[in-house]
């Protein structure tokens, strides 16, 4: 189906390994649905804590916010950086939420690992082999996002770098690819979910927010992802989306997040 997969070894399903489970707190990623929510970037402390509290109140256990942001334009807000990590640490202490945040480069990954429970390697870094190798040396699960022009084979080979260098805990994230159409920010490759699940033992989650680019489309993409068999979702959410420092157009509010959360429970019970 994907042509010759002979270079992919460790990421492929085998008879003895059909699914990777990653235990974190009382969640077994790969088995329990992994719902991750939070603002695109770490906001100022008060706002970040407020968002985190609301998310925790919904029973969601994973909080994602970027301290270091890979922005397309150098004129856009680049994130609160080191200060952002400190704020995330406070979120962790005060709410007990598991922290997911991005390591933009090898220089920062150890500092990020001091706070993060899951380290995100973003789309723009999917092919950064030095970062992938370095990520493998960290004793934390890696959330690897698909490059927006990467084939599934390239995506799995990027995961293979991390597995080969010694970190077995990789979570794959489909987040939309570039196609000819621009009705949404990217085109969510929903077929990637069952296709990956056929091939790999690694958990596969979906980021509907970056694919959609606008919040009205996000709930439908969440439902589609669940129907396609995704192991989780990562959803950009904020108490006041219009005031978000980054990616506000695609960010949903807490009431919308709660609705999606309830839909997930409903779908999963029906399964």
Applying CB under 6 A, the residues found at the interface with ligand PEP are 40, 66, 70, 122-124, 145, 175, 210
Least distance from C-beta 271 to Mn ion, angstroms?
A: 29
Angle at 13 between CA 12 and CA 17, to 5 degrees: 125
143, burial (CB in 10 Å: exposed 0-12, middle 13-18, buried 19+)? buried
Q: Which helix (H) or strand (E) holds 129?
A: helix 129-136
Query: Considering the complex, what minimum distance in angstroms separates the CB of residue 172 from ligand PEP?
Result: 12
Q: In angstroms, give the least distance from the CB of 250 to Mn ion.
A: 7
Shortest CA distance to 237 belongs to which of 253, 250, 222, 248?
A: 253
Segment 25 to 54, residues that bind Mn ion, using CB under 5 A: 40
Taking the least distance from each CB to Mn ion, the nearer of 169 and 247 is 247
Closest to ligand PEP by CB, 10 or 109: 109
Residue 213 binding: pick among ligand PEP, Mn ion, none (C-beta 5-8 Å cut-off by kind): none
Choose between 13 and 248: whose C-beta lies nearer to ligand PEP: 248
188's torsion region: left (phi>0), alpha (psi -120 to 50) or beta?
beta
Scan residues 240-269 and list those touching Mn ion (CB under 5 A).
247
Q: How many residues of this chain bind Mn ion (CB under 5 A)? A: 2
Rounded Cα gap, residues 201 and 199, in angstroms: 7
Nearest CB to ligand PEP, comparing residues 10 and 241: 241
Element (H, E) at 98: strand 98-102
| Number of separate helices (H) and strands (E) present in the chain | 9, 10
State the binding string over 198-237 for Mn ion (x if CB under 5 A, else -): ----------------------------------------
Angle value at C-alpha 218, between 58 and 28, nearest 5 degrees: 50
Locus of tokens 């723009």: 124
Given ligand PEP, Mn ion, none, residue 70, with its beta carbon under 5 to 8 Å by kind, binds ligand PEP
Binding residues vs Mn ion (CB under 5 A): 40, 247
């Amino acid at each position: 189906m994907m042509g010759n997969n002979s270079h992919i070894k460790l990421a492929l399903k085998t008879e003895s390994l059909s699914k990777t489970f990653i235990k974190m707190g009382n969640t077994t990623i790969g088995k329990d649905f992994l719902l991750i929510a939070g603002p695109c970037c770490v906001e100022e402390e008060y706002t970040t804590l407020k968002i985190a509290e609301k998310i925790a109140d919904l029973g969601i256990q994973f909080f994602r916010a970027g301290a270091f942001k890979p922005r397309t334009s150098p004129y856009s807000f680049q994130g609160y950086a080191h200060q952002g990590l400190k704020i995330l640490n406070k979120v962790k202490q005060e709410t007990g939420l598991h922290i997911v945040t991005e390591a933009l480069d090898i220089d920062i990954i150890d500092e990020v690992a001091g706070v993060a429970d899951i380290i995100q390697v973003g789309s723009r870094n999917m092919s950064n082999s030095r970062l992938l190798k370095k990520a493998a040396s960290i004793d934390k699960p890696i959330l690897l996002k698909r490059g927006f022009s990467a084939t599934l084979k390239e995506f799995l080979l990027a995961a293979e770098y991390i597995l080969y260098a010694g970190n077995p805990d990789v979570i794959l994230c489909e987040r939309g690819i570039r196609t000819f159409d621009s009705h949404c920010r990217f085109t969510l490759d929903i077929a990637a979910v069952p296709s990956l699940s056929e091939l790999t033992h690694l958990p596969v989650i979906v980021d509907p927010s970056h694919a959609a680019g606008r919040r009205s489309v996000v709930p439908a993409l969440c439902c589609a992802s669940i129907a396609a068999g995704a192991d989780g979702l990562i959803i950009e959410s904020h108490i006041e989306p219009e005031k978000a420092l980054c990616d506000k157009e695609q960010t949903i509010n807490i009431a919308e997040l709660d609705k999606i959360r309830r839909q997930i429970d409903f779908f999963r019970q029906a399964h």
